[in-house]
Structures are given as C-alpha cells and as structure tokens.
Amino acid sequence: MIGEFVVNNIKFDKTDSKQVTHKLYEELSKEKLISTDGSLTWVAERLDKPLIMNKVELISSLEEEYGYTKTPFSFDKFTYDNNQFIDGDALDKKAQQKAEEKKLREHEKKKAADNRIHKEHMQKMIDMKDTLPPIQIDRKIKSSSMDIRVDDVSLEVPGKLLLDQTSVILGSGRKYGLIGKNGIGKTTLLYSMCRKELKGFDKLGQILLVEQEISGDDKTVIETVLAVDAERAELLAREQEILKNGDKNNELDKIYETMENIDAHSAENNARSLLHGLGFTAKMMDMQTKFLSGGWRMRVSLARVLFCKPDMLLLDEPTNHLDLNAVMWLQDYLINWGATVLIVSHAREFLNNVCTDIISFENMQLNYYKGNYNQYEETRRRNLADQKKQFDAQQSHMSHIQDFIDKFRYNAKRASLVQSRIKSLNRIDKIEEVIMDPTTVFMFEDPEKIRPPLIRVDDGFFKYNDTDEEWLLENLKFVVDMESKVALLGANGVGKTTFLNILTEKLKCQDGDFFFNKRARISMFTQHTVDTLDITLSPHEQFTTLYSSATTEMIRSHLGRYGVTGNLAMRPMYLLSGGQKSRVALALAGWGNPHVMIMDEPTNHLDIEAVDALIVALANYQGGLIIVSHDQYFVSCICDQIWYVKAKKIKKFQGDFDDYRTALATNRL
C-alpha cells in the first residue's frame, strides 16, 4: 500500500519511480478515483480499498521521454493540464515570467499612485504657502502690544497631533530660539503663527515669515526689495503722472506730505544698506533677479521681510544660505531689532549670540527657558538631575509605604493604619521619571589606509572660458591626505564650490600640475545632492536604484547608521523633513567608505542634536575632510586647519576660528 511504501522507506531509482507514478495515474483513472475533466488538475478521492503498489508494471513512453515526478519517490516533477503532459522546466519559466510581469505591473501601479500622492502633497504645500500673508509693508495693522500668553493650545496635521494642550508665551521685543528634533513640527508651528491660526494671535500686529526664495524675474534686486512698500510706489507713480500732466487738483502737496510721513525718500538708502549687510555688491543690487542663484534669491527674500519691519519676525534656518560675514551682520541686526523674533536654527553660536530665550519643542509641549542656548543646556541638565533625585527619593518613600501595606494588609489590629497608608499613597503627586531621548548617532566606516598624497594641486590656474581675460582662481597650492581636517571659508561667489569641483576632477585647471590618486575614493556632500534626490522614492529605494547589487539588509543597516531607521526608511522622501533628507544624503556620501569626504554646508536643516552627533562622527572618522560651513561651532570642533578664498587665491589662515572671525570683522584678512 502507499502508506506502507512511504513508512517503510522503500527506494526506487528514477526510472522505476517514473513508471510507478504514471501507472498509478492510469490505474486511478480506470477506477474513476481521479478526474481530469476540463482544465482541472487531479482531484483525489478517498480509496475504499488498499492499492497494492507491486501490481503497477506498465511504463509510459511519453513520461519516460519527458516526464518528471514530485512524489515521495523522487524530487523531479511533472504536471498534466487538460489531460496533456507539460514539461516542468517550461512550466517554471512560464510561471517565473508571469510573476515578473505581475511584479512589474504592481511596481508601475505603485509608482503611479506615489506620483499622484506626491502631486497632491505638493499642491497642498503650495496652497498652504499661498495662505501666508503677503510680504509687504502694512501701515494699517495696529497692535497695542505683542505680548501674548495663551493656554491650552493644540496643533495637528492630518493623522498627527503636534501640540497637545500647551501654552504659547511670547514677550514683546524678546528673541526666541525654537529648538526640537527634525520632523517634530517646528516649521508647521511657524506657519500657523504667521497665518494667525493659533488662539489669540488674531489680535496681534503684522507677523511675517521668511520661508522661501523669491521667483526670479526682470526686476532688479533693489526694485524687488522696494516693491514691498506698495504705498510708496503708488505715491511715486502718482507724482510722476501729475508732473507730466499738471497739478490741476493741487495734489502734490498732499503727496509730498504723505511721502514725508512714511519716510519714502530714505527708503532706497535703507534697502541698499540691508542688501549690503547681506553681502550684495552695488553691481549685484542693480542686477535682475532672474540671474541670481537660489541662495542669493533667498537673501533677497530675507531683505524684503527685514525691510517691512513686522511686529513679529519668524525665521526658519536664516543662516543656511549666508556666508560667515553675512551671518555676523545678521546677528548684530537682530540683536538691535526692537520687535519680537522667533528663530528656528541649528547654528548653536547664532542662537547663543541672538537669543534671550529658548523654547524647547518636545513631547507635544513647548517648554520655556531664560537665556541663550548654552544657558538652556545647563538649565535643562540641572533640572533633569534634580528631577531624577526627586523621583528616586519619592520612589523610595512610596516603596517604604507599600512594604508596610503589604506586611500588615491582613492584620486586623493594624487595618486602620493600612487604610491610612493606602490613602496617603494615592494622594501623592507623582513625579515623572526622567526618560532620556534616544541619542542621535552617525557612523562613518573607516577606510583602509593609502599612501599620501591623495590629491595635490601645484600652481593651478582656472577660468570657465578660455576667452575670459582674467583667471577665476590662480596660483592654487593645496594637498589632501587622509589626515586632512580642513575648513574652507570665504564669501559667497569667490570660488569655493569651483575649487571643490577641481579637487573632485569635475573641472580641470588650464595651467599647473594636478595629481589624483586613482586608488582614492572621494565622496561629496552638497545641498545640490539633497535637491537631486528623487523625492517620490523612499530612502531605501534611492539606494536600490543607485546600487542594484546591494542587498536589503546592507541598505537598511547602512541607513540605520545615519538615523534613518524603521518606517522612515520606507517613506517617500517628500514626506520627510529637510533634516531627514539631509540624513539620507549623508548616508549616500558615506557609502563605500570614502578616503576623503568633501562637505558643503552639511549641517543645513539638521537639528542641533543631529549636528552634535555629526561632530562626534566626523571627529572619529579616519579619513580626510574638507568642509565648507558657516556654522562656527561645527567648524571649530572638527577642523584643525582654516583655508580661505580671497582675491582669486586660496590661502591658509594662521590661527583658530575665533581669530579668523576677528580678522574678518576687522577687515584684516
């Protein structure tokens, strides 16, 4: 019987097994125990009597030639469809082809759905920005005070609660730094404040937010800034019209009086002073904005808002597109600003120099601290230490009471004492346990050592067009090895990015000697890297697209070293915050264990905790580093050399970052 055959482990060779299985099929068919009707495969029925295997003797020539079996007797296979024999290998190929086609259809369907969701998301973002108040001087908005204290404030976005019954406290003329982890909702809070959606904000004066670069057009930079004063523009236009056609209604005197009241004649000088502080030359101020890069257009946006002098100024990472000189100017400008300022920034030194208060956005609450960022850190550390001591003491006291209750719970003589202790325990106002947030960690794998130099430039000269009369960079002398920890500084537009492209062989010097070690792996992180990511893909899909041979385990493990873990690695990029996108770009830069990493503003969009983690990771990294950054604290913690670009040359600065900042402020470079 079949059962005895299996249990007793009777063995047949391949030929015998083919004969047995085919004869078994014929015998079962004769007895009408199985059916091959239509396109159905075999349908077994219960046997009413044993089937003796040793009576099966016939051999099918068809099965002998083509058939395969997958039975207890062997590991080959065959199938019948519509009572026709089908080759197992052909069936496998056909099934595999169908599976691949199905997978492709599902991928295309998912891609189409992702693109649709992305378009809807981007449209929502555009609609949200369109609801912001226009950037223009509004002399009609009046507010007796910009002091505000509102309790029980909640803020949510679809599917997520950001603030839960917290307090918003802002004092007139104070400078607040708003800090919190990437993606916690800081930018959303700024938008809500600017649109006056939060309770109590509708009674405040003008609130403006610097949130995006202007669109380039034919207007010059100075015209774009002055355009925010619509009343002045209208008065000037009316003045010219009257001068041309005659003052029939004696309007000019009234126009001149109004212009005097709004200080219209000094407006252009004030605007040019703002632009000069932000790094614009006189020539650039008269340049059409369509010829400016995104970073310079962002400066124009900042100048427009500062020119409006709102009652409350909201700044979201204002230093991201500024060089050190402009950052220092903005610090001084905001310190002397008379109105309320709320700043979201990752730049520790900027917050230290500007802020009078820090607001910590955590656990759906806003917590307030007096002083700058360093004072906040010290106060918070001390508060947490005190809270832990109080918690431990309370737990010890409660444990002592509980021990008494447990010991005498069933003692009738002490029942009243036990009940008293239980009531006392219930009345205790519990102190929350100190639960520290998971520490942000970045990890760059150390590369193998190779002989220096990795990159060397001697007497290099560069210009973009051979027809240009002057060199953009000249007499370049620079060496890179695995010990290099270099900060490359200089004003925007002097050629820092051009020099980095020369080092990575994206550009070539027209004159001079250049050496590049072909064994060296060089990676480069720039804001352009972040901007070129396909935001419809997840971080995991970014890597599988670029590195098809990498396994899922390798990619997930690598992303985890940069804080992109769990569901975050599988979410479309357009749903990630700017800081989370920067983490993905950093992970791309760290892929392959580069010998040298070149980083252009790596801290942009990262929260302060992530910046601190990046400092630790880069300080322990055993490869070479060339860093372009305006973040004073970041550079001073990592780099042991300062080079700067000025007057077409790259020079080494003798001193630390504080010395460089002093030399820059006193024009001694």
- The number of C-alpha atoms within 13 Å of 474 and in the hemisphere containing its C-beta is 6
Q: What percent of the chain has pLDDT over 70?
A: 83
CA angle 330/146/183 to nearest 5° reads: 60
CA angle 123/127/131 to nearest 5° reads: 170
Q: How confident is the model at residue 419 (pLDDT cuts 50, 70, 90)?
A: confident
Q: How far is CA 51 from CA 32, 43, 59, 387, in A?
A: 14, 17, 18, 80
Comparing 54-58, 164-168, 272-276, 454-458, which segment has the lowest mean pLDDT?
A: 54-58
Tell me, yes or no, if the pTM score tops 0.85. Answer: no
pLDDT of residue 322: 84
The ranges assigned to domains in the chain are: 2-86, 148-371, 376-427, 455-665
* CA gap 3, 494 in Å, rounded: 87
Q: What percent of the chain has pLDDT over 90?
A: 35
Whether pLDDT at 456 is above 90: yes
* CA gap 391, 436 in Å, rounded: 14
**Inter-residue contact 522 to 595 (CB < 8 Å):** yes
- Specify the CATH superfamily of domain 148-371: P-loop containing nucleotide triphosphate hydrolases (3.40.50.300)
Per-residue pLDDT tens digits for 349-366 = 999 999 999 999 988 999
CB-CB neighbours of 375 under 10 Å: 15
Per-residue pLDDT tens digits for 549-562 = 889 999 999 999 88
Whether pLDDT at 60 is above 60: no
* Packing angle, helices 324-335 and 657-665, rounded to 10: 70
Whether pLDDT at 437 is above 80: no
Q: Name the average pLDDT for the chain.
A: 82
Nearest Cα neighbor of 445 from 541, 560, 570 is 560
Q: How confident is the model at residue 385 (pLDDT cuts 50, 70, 90)?
A: confident
Comparing 90-104, 159-173, 193-207, 527-541, which segment has the lowest mean pLDDT?
A: 90-104
More confident residue, 309 or 139: 309
More confident residue, 225 or 251: 225
Q: How confident is the model at residue 13 (pLDDT cuts 50, 70, 90)?
A: low
pLDDT of residue 530: 75
**Inter-residue contact 317 to 604 (CB < 8 Å):** yes
Q: What is the mean pLDDT of residues 526-542?
A: 82
pLDDT of residue 91: 57
* CA gap 318, 350 in Å, rounded: 10
pLDDT of residue 41: 46
Whether pLDDT at 52 is above 60: no
From the number of C-beta atoms within 10 Å of its C-beta (0-12, 13-18, 19+), residue 20 rates as buried
CATH assignment, 455-665: 3.40.50.300
